[in-house]
Amino acid sequence: MESIKEREELVMHGISPSRPRVEILNYLHNNFTHPTADEIFKDLRGKVPTLSLTTVYNTLKLFVSKGLCQSITINEKQVCYDGQTIEHGHFLCSICGKIYDIKDNEEQDKPHKDYMDGHHITEVHYYYKGVCAECLSSLS
C-alpha cells in the first residue's frame, strides 16, 4: 500500500511519485538501520516486482540531491542511506558494523554556519567510530 505522506512529500520536492519512489521513501522513513541500496532492493523487490537495482540507485541519488535522505560514507566499504534529514551524527561500531544515529550535546551546541573562511557550507557530517554498547557488554 502506497503511503499518502510519502507521495505528497515527493510532489512537494518536485519529484514524480512513481510506485518505486514512494516505496523507497516509505522504506527509508520506517527503517532506521541505515541500509545500503542493495539492502533496500532486496527488501522491496517482493513488494515491487518491477523494481531494479538501477532504479534503487537512481532514486537514492535523486533523493539525496533533493534533500529527502542523506548518504552516509562512514564505512569506506559501502554507502548507506538515512531517511532522517535533520542534522545528527552517526556512530559506526568497529565490531558488529552497525551504524547508529547519535545526538551529541556538544554537536547540538555548535552553531551551524553557512559560510566559513569564505566557503559556502551546504552539508555537515559528524562521524564517530568505536565499539557500541551492545558489543561492549558482550566483551565483559
Q: Is the pLDDT of residue 79 over 80?
A: yes
Ranges 20-24, 82-86, 101-105: which has the least confidence: 101-105
Q: Taking the domains of the chain in order of start, what are their residue ranges?
A: 4-72, 86-139
Q: Which CATH architecture has domain 4-72?
A: Orthogonal Bundle (1.10)
Q: Where are the alpha helices (DSSP H) in the chain?
A: 4-12, 19-30, 37-44, 53-66, 105-109, 133-139
- Dump pLDDT digits (tens) for 49-71: 999 999 999 999 999 999 999 99
Confidence category of residue 1, pLDDT binned at 50, 70, 90? very low
pLDDT at position 112 over 80: no
Whether the CA torsion 92, 60, 38, 34 is positive or negative: it is positive
Which DSSP letter does residue 128 get?
A: E
Q: How far apart are CA 122 and CA 29, in angstroms?
A: 23
Mean pLDDT score, 111-134: 82
At residue 124, the pLDDT reads: 78
Assign domain 86-139 to its CATH architecture.
Answer: 2-Layer Sandwich (3.30)
What integer best gives the mean pLDDT of the chain? 89
Entry pTM: 0.83
Residue 84 has pLDDT above 60, yes or no: yes
